[in-house]
Chains A and B, each alone.
Chain A
Amino acid sequence: MSAFVEVARTGCSAIGRHRLRSTVTIAAVLAVLVPYMVGMGLAEGLRQEALVAIGSTEAPGFVSLPDLYVAGSRFGRRVPIRLSAVEEIAKFDGVERVVPRIVGRVTLGKDDVEAILVGLPVDELEAAVGGTPLGTVIEGRLPRSGRGDQPQLVVGTALARRLRLKIDDVIPPILHSNRGDKTPQIVGIFRKETSMWQARVVLTTFETASELFDQPGLATDLLVHCRVGQPAAVGSRIAREISAGEVESEIGCEVISRADLESLLPAGLGHRQGVYNLLFTVAFAVAILVILVTSGFGLSERRRTIGILKATGWQTDQVLLGSLVEHLLLGLFGATASIVLSFVWLKWFNGYWIAGVFISGLDTAPEVTVPFVLAPVPAVLAVLLACLLVTVGSVFSTWRIAVTSPAEAMR
């Protein structure tokens, strides 16, 4: 037992003695694990945000989200639904309230910066941005513009920064209407910490959105809030009885439940994670080769050292134990450093550069707070991978030398 402890101790002290080798090994671990940890952290962060967005997980202070999303359907594609359907659906048993929504693509500024314009009824806007104090979500105030008024907008962080918008700024007309262009006024800007989804959003009232798109009497979709246990029944009744178009049965309805979204979300993220894991496996295999090559640093010195150790009474298992302890510690140190570095990169540097690699549309310096969750499972996996990576690369070459005769090793 004491020999075991003493050999293990020499393994620890070997880390400091072979500084270059230790540094190269840790650098290789960091090069593999940091992108892995950051990628997994961002994927989990996005998933959590998406779950909150579809109401699967309620964020603290946020109001309940719709159970059904109803839109028109034509040739298998989603099309707008008539506004009058709101009243009809609201009368169905099990329906608590129906909110019409307009979601459309617009471009802003001279550079035609793309944005998503969302229009909701005035009394629903506060609920949409959450029950938390408004000041924590938006700087400024919510829009109150009605039909015929000057459009009032709340813009996302990325848009505000890109277009250098400030509260009370008046911007050129967004869309050109037959009824005359109107110059919108910025009344609020989303705070960057709120959510990543707000970055390129323009929030306004339903009436303003309807005017801007010049689509009176239509909504992109209806958000249906149901009583507990009722969404399925309500959904099938809507699909059966509601026509999306003004002419009877002209356009059918497409009803998507929150459960449908929940089932789509993991599949989509799982697919992305699958691709990511595949890429990571390739990187991992390459890293093993790299470490095998770098472990060749000072190989002749190591051969001779192992030969001397064996000549002076060290057993093969003791030589291996020393090497194993040295490299396990290097792996643990590398993994810990990777976790800390990933956290620092995501938290303090807001995923500078790397977030843009994983999330399309983000700039090198993200204008929003990137969502991330460093979950325990990937962290534990990182530790295991680091230990595996380092020990496979180094203990194998040590073993190959250690099983040869001392005379051969020292030759």
Chain B
Amino acid sequence: MTGVALATSSVQRRYRAGSVHEIVAVDRITLAIDPGSFVALIGPSGSGKSTLLALLGALDRPTAGGVRFGDRDLAGCSDVELARVRRRMGFVFQSESLIPRLPAWENVSYPLVARGVGVSRRRELAESLLDRLGLASRSAAFPEELSGGEQQRVAVARALVGSPEVVFADEPTSQLDTESADRTSELLREIHVEGTTLVVATHDPALIESATRVIALENGRVVDDRVET
């Protein structure tokens, strides 16, 4: 197992909506995620799945409470430290997460730029991943030339290019046709089988079925947390 333990302690995220209203997207959630597990976050829209995912993935800071990545408390991290933590993670977003003016291989390899990997090595790594995901012939294609399923596979390749310890996916199949959704789900299962911790916010029954743990959210709170056998 190459994963790392994730934990939240009474984590809360509030947003201001207008001048007086405040939305509590995540309300005092405490949980621990074991290395190598496949966690599915489920719940209706607006239940706080994506916000919890963003907090776990250091994409957002909590209003209260804490998030731990391994032995590191993310709340106390500087901007640079958070960026370094994110390099140990991979993200697959809902849609439109590719940079429009970059070809597929560059989209995949862009996270490696910040790590100082040279262009030839980047291209090599990106193309081998695209090949693995069945997109070898689409390496030079721009996002607008790719189908939704192909775009999502490129996004998966980008999440994997830095050999992450944890992969987060936010409704990765929600905007795909059945065939593309199945293919993406299969890819995520493969990632988990290889030992990477996987946290997925989803409504997709196929993905939920594959998860080793399912956490149900409602109004920003955990209403069910079960380990699948």
Contact = CB atoms under 8 A, between A and B. Distances in A.
B100 A3 contact: no
B186 interface: no
Given A2-B116, A5-B116, A315 B79 contact: yes
A3 B115 contact: yes
A308 to B, nearest CB: 6
A220 interface: no
Contacts of B83: 310, 313-316, 318
Given A17-B101, A311-B59, A7 B54 contact: no
Nearest to B96: A304
Nearest to A17: B101
A305 B80 CA distance: 18
B79 A313 contact: no
Nearest to B57: A311
B69 to A, nearest CB: 13
Interface string B76-89: 00011001101100
Contacts, number: 87
A250 interface: no
B111 to A, nearest CB: 4
B118 A6 contact: yes
Contacts of B93: 311, 410
A322 B168 CA distance: 26
Contact of B111 (A4, A304, A313, A405): A313
Nearest to B114: A314
Contact of B113 (A10, A301, A304, A308): A10
Nearest to B79: A316
Nearest to B100: A301
Interface in A144-170: none
B204 interface: no
A308 B60 contact: no
A407 interface: yes
B105 interface: no
Given A305-B99, A315-B79, A407-B54, A310 B116 contact: no
A351 to B, nearest CB: 40
A312 B111 contact: yes
Nearest to A316: B79
B153 interface: no
Most buried by B among A9, A317, A406, A408: A406
A205 B102 CA distance: 76
Interface residues of B, number: 32
Nearest to A3: B116
Contacts of B60: 405-408
B141 interface: no
B222 to A, nearest CB: 20
B61 interface: yes
Contact of A313 (B51, B84, B119): B84
Nearest to A317: B80
B114 A7 contact: yes
Task: Bin chain A's interface residue count.
Answer: 20 to 34
A407 B118 contact: no
B63 interface: no
B86 A310 contact: yes
A18 interface: yes
Nearest to A408: B60
A259 interface: no
A326 to B, nearest CB: 12
Nearest to A318: B114
Contacts of A405: 54, 59-61
Interface string B57-77: 101110000000000000000
A228 interface: no
B38 interface: no
Contacts of B51: 407
A285 interface: no
Interface in A360-411: 403, 405-408, 410
Contacts of A7: 113-114
A378 to B, nearest CB: 36
B88 to A, nearest CB: 8
A6 B98 CA distance: 20
Interface in B155-178: 158, 162
Contact of B87 (A4, A6, A313, A317): A313
A305 B158 CA distance: 14
Interface in A272-321: 301, 304-305, 308-318
Contacts of B84: 313
A247 interface: no
Contacts of B45: none
Interface string B36-56: 000000000000000100100
B92 to A, nearest CB: 11
Task: For the complex of A and B, list the 10 residue pairs with the smallest distance between their C-beta atoms, beginning with the closest.
Answer: A2-B116, A3-B116, A313-B87, A312-B111, A407-B60, A407-B54, A315-B83, A407-B59, A17-B101, A314-B114
13 contacts: A3-B114, A3-B115, A6-B114, A6-B116, A17-B101, A308-B110, A312-B91, A312-B110, A312-B111, A314-B83, A315-B80, A405-B59, A410-B59
Given A308-B97, A315-B80, 15 more contacts: A2-B116, A310-B86, A311-B57, A311-B93, A312-B86, A312-B91, A312-B158, A313-B114, A314-B83, A316-B83, A317-B80, A318-B83, A405-B54, A408-B60, A410-B97
